[in-house]
Structure 1
Amino acid sequence: MEFCPTCGTLLRYELPAERHPARFFCRTCPYVCSVQTGVKIKRKLQLVKKEVEPVFTLEDMMKGGSETEATCPHCNFGKARYQQLQIRSADEPATTFYFCLNEKCSRMWRED
């Protein structure tokens, strides 16, 4: 898909005719762009992976989380701290974040 650099409208494709080659044109302004026969790669970009910030940190869980009996999926320990947060739309249930209280595990998981 190509967009008009002037107004941002989606460009339309026009078949080649006697007086012009195949081209893209804008329906709202006079912009016209001829279609080139070959494809050229202008530049290659290296994708950079963003760091993911946790929703809750360990400190947040220790000072604000409540303790409950929940089984850790990693070590099967039976106690965890949890906090609930509404991260989706209001008509969806809240997401519960858990932190395992086993000192050897200390992992976080969530249940939607």
Structure 2
Amino acid sequence: MLPFCPGCSNRLIMEEGQHCHHFACNTGPYVNNITCKVTTRKYPKLKELDDMLGRVAAWKNVNSTAEPCPKCEHPWVYIMWLKTHSTDKPMTTFYKCCNARCVHCWRD
């Protein structure tokens, strides 16, 4: 939230006083003391790897390869290559465990 001066509508700047902080107007005499501590934190929900790749539909008709899953050690995994960076960077390799109970996803 950005505070604005009620007289001239300029954005107020925060200044440090002797006993407290306050918002003050650059062009006028308006001063608003800060009387309480205001903090807000928002932690965004991180997307799952399947969300980024298009959920279950993205893994249809992909190849599988003989590579062990690092979580359950199943010997086969699905493999998919996607371009996630600019054109001069190599493609990113995504893996998903073939074991229906594990379905661990990771990238290389």
Of 21, 31, 34, 2:32 maps to 34
The answer to whether the 8 A contact 2:83-2:91 is kept is: yes
Q: Judging changes above 3 Å, is the alpha-carbon distance between structure 1 residues 102 and 12 closer, same or farther for their aligned structure 2 residues?
A: closer
TM-score of the two chains, using structure 1 as the length reference: 0.55
Which runs of structure 2 are paired with 1:40-55 in the superposition (5 Å)? 50=45, 52=47, 54-55=51-52
The answer to whether the 8 A contact 1:66-1:81 is kept is: yes
Distance in 2 (CA, whole Å) between partners of 1:99 and 1:4 is: 49
In structure 2, runs of 5+ residues without a counterpart are none
Distance in 1 (CA, whole Å) between partners of 2:21 and 2:60 is: 65
* 1:85 positional shift: 2.5
Q: Output the aligned Cα RMSD.
A: 3.9
Structure 1 runs of 4+ with >6 Å offset: none
Distance in 2 (CA, whole Å) between partners of 1:80 and 1:25 is: 61
Distance in 2 (CA, whole Å) between partners of 1:66 and 1:35 is: 64
TM-score of the two chains, using structure 2 as the length reference: 0.57
Q: Judging changes above 3 Å, is the alpha-carbon distance between structure 1 residues 26 and 103 closer, same or farther for their aligned structure 2 residues?
A: same
